[in-house]
Amino acid sequence: MSNTLDGKTVLITGATAGLGRATATQLAQRGAHVTICGRDPGKSARIAAEIRAQTANENVDHLTADLSSLAEARRLASEFSDRHKKLDVLINNVGGIWAERHTTVDGLERTFALNHLAPFVLTNLLLDTMKAAPSARIVNLSSQSYSWGRIDFEDLQAERTYSGMRAYRQSKLANVLFTYELSRRLEGTDVTANVLNPGGVHTDFYSGQDLPPTIRFEALFRALMQSPDAGARASVYLAASPDVANTTGQYFVKRTRKSSNKVSNSRELAGRLWQVSADLAGIDE
């Protein structure tokens, strides 16, 4: 494999298992300086060491953060920027789903906080570091679930009524809206932003105890899903391929550009979500 990412710095969240780990491994194989992020310091250090051994790439390190916390997301951005003068590729891979409603240390609904606000905060705080790179890429992970989602501004934190699938679908739609708005705000820079639906991937996502019935049903078909290694190829494609070097503000299913639905293309909705997210996260416009 050609080392097409020699000299490139990469940060990937949710990278200690499944799709994230496979993506980090493939990027390290291409010669990138990869920083993985996970919640558990011991596990993060162990996975980084295993990727170094597997790829013969010594430039694989780790940072730890519970990205459901706004303060932790801020700390991660600060620590990365202290270590690196530039960031070539940011892959917002972290995500989760829960049958029961949980709140974060900030009092936010966990699905919205982890799946949407974490990428929103981390990306915004790392933009200067990305603009320092000759050209930089942001890859946000979504899923087909976005197409059934809606942004409920009247009950964004699901305080009135909670459904695990509804919260997840809302967060995945938010990923698409955020990416499109971000790409518009990055016009005139050398930073691109695209959103990816990697397709069904057989990972630990389907192994939790607190899963909605829909996800438990999908888990019955895990044997038919693609492996993490296969699923990671789409993330690597968007991170590394010259074919998409100047592509931004696009929705991809695996490695194919697709049109997303009408709701996700609403500039008014994207702008409102951005403002609400910035207010919740304390991000200056």
Residue 228 lies in a domain: yes
Classify residue 154 by its DSSP letter: G
* pLDDT higher than 60, residue 92: yes
Instruction: Compute the average pLDDT of residues 86-104.
Output: 96
In one letter, which amino acid is 220? L
Kindly state whether residue 3 falls inside one of the protein's structural domains.
Answer: no
Tokens of 20: 């994230």
Per the domain annotation, does 4 fall within a domain? no
Tell me, what's the pLDDT at 64?
Answer: 98
**Which among 191, 185, 197, 200 is positioned nearest to 142, based on CA atoms?**
197
Task: Give residue 1's pLDDT.
Answer: 45
Higher pLDDT: 215 or 152? It is 152
- Rounded percentage of the chain residues whose pLDDT exceeds 70: 89
Residue 88's pLDDT is: 98
Beta bridge partners of 138: 90, 193
Checking if the pLDDT of 31 tops 50, the result is: yes
Res. 189 pLDDT band, cuts 50 70 90: very high
- Assign residue 54 the CATH number of its domain: 3.40.50.720
Q: Is residue 230 part of a domain?
A: yes
In a domain, 54, yes or no: yes
Total tally of structural domains belonging to the chain:
1
Residue 99 has pLDDT above 70, yes or no: yes
Catalytic residue among 146, 168, 180, 206: 168
Which range marks the domain in which residue 184 is found? 9-281
pLDDT in tens, 40-79: 999 999 999 999 999 999 999 999 999 999 999 999 999 9
| 201 and 231 Cβ atoms separated by less than 8 Å | yes
Q: Is the pLDDT of residue 210 over 80?
A: no
pLDDT at 215 over 80: no
- Mean pLDDT of the region 268-282: 98
What are the backbone dihedrals phi and psi of residue 40, each rounded to the nearest 5 degrees, phi first? -100, 120
What mean pLDDT, rounded, does the chain reach?
A: 93
Tell me, what's the pLDDT at 222? 61
Is the model's pLDDT at 105 over the cut of 70? yes
The CB density around residue 237, as the number of other CB atoms within 10 Å, is 18
Query: Is 146 tagged catalytic?
Result: no
- What is the number of alpha carbons within 13 Å of residue 31 lying toward its C-beta? 9
Domain assignment present for 1: no
d(CA 227, CA 200): 9
